[in-house]
Amino acid sequence: MAASKGRIILVGGEKGGTGKTTIATNLAALRATTGRDVVLIDTDPQGSASGWCLTRDEAGITPRIASVQKFGKGLARELEDLSLRYQDIIVDAGGRDSVELRAAMTKAEVLVSPVQASQFDLWTLKALDELVRQAQGFNPELRTLLVISRGPTHHQVTDAKDAAELVGDYDTFTLAKSVIRDRTIYRRAAGLGQGVIEFAEPNDKATQEVQQLYKEVFGDE
């Protein structure tokens, strides 16, 4: 009987600066705390996700999260190999249309694509829509979850609501119920190699945001 393959979750998109690494590392941290064997794949030359894992290792934080940097067309084959050795593979792709993003989209179960609630970010949705449609030609089961990231924390700001209305024009995306807001705790936790759920001074709102997104990505298993 063939061994079951690990789940491949891709965090990526067309626009930089949308908090992809924040989402990837927090999903990895939360997933690892459930006892799953998780590897974080960093395809961004900046190496932020790899640096987070290194900081985590140096601090002796458990559970440990393995990290691999991989670039180029060989990423698809690497993901196939890693899916036989890990239960969950989370890919942090750079904020641009890249060889790595396209390769990962052909193998991923879910594409988590963060966008900021601004017109400049929302203008990229047409290009992302085309990328997803192309990828689904190779990977028809690919599910795309669009996440409003770095959303305003002030309750009177309606940018996130306005963005949600624009996202409704695309049937290739599902808009996440969770909004990852612009909170200092995300940066503080990242600097220590932690997810917000592991931070010594917990923030209930940030924890709820990550847990809600986690459920939407992985399901209620």
Domains by residue range for the chain, with CATH: 7-218 (3.40.50.300)
Q: Is 54 in a helix, a strand, or coil?
A: helix
Please list, in sequence order, all residues whose beta carbon lies within 8 angstroms of the beta carbon of residue 34, skipping any fewer than 6 positions away.
none
Query: What are the φ/ψ torsions at residue 174 (nearest 5 degrees)?
Result: -115, 130
Alpha-carbon distance of 97 to 116, in angstroms, equals 17
Flag whether the pTM goes above 0.95. Answer: no
Print pLDDT tens along the chain (221 aa). Answer: 345 789 999 999 876 778 899 999 999 999 999 999 999 999 988 899 999 999 999 999 999 999 999 998 899 999 999 999 999 999 999 766 789 999 999 999 999 999 887 665 667 788 889 999 999 999 999 999 999 887 777 655 566 666 667 677 788 988 898 889 999 999 999 999 999 999 999 899 999 999 999 999 998 65
Token pair of 208 as six digits: 């709820």
Token pair of 86 as six digits: 């890990």
Tell me, what amino acid is at 50? Answer: S
Token pair of 37 as six digits: 């064997």
Q: Is 24 in a helix, a strand, or coil?
A: helix
CA 98 to centroid of chain Cα atoms: 16
- Identify the residue whose tokens are 């750079």: 94
Do 48 and 149 touch, CB atoms closer than 8 A? no
Token pair of 181 as six digits: 């807001």
